[in-house]
Structure 1
Amino acid sequence: MADDQKAKSKGEQAKGKLKEAGGRAVGNERMEAEGRAEQAKGDARQAKEKAKDVFKH
Structure 2
Amino acid sequence: MKYKRLVCIGGHHLDAELMGGPLLIKYAMQGAHCTMINVTEGRLDRKDATEQEKKNI
Q: Which has the larger radius of gyration?
A: 2
Identify, as 1 or 2, the structure richer in strand.
2
TM-score by length of 1: 0.37
Question: Given the two structures, how large is their TM-score scaled by the length of structure 2?
Answer: 0.37
Query: Which structure is higher in helix share?
Result: 1
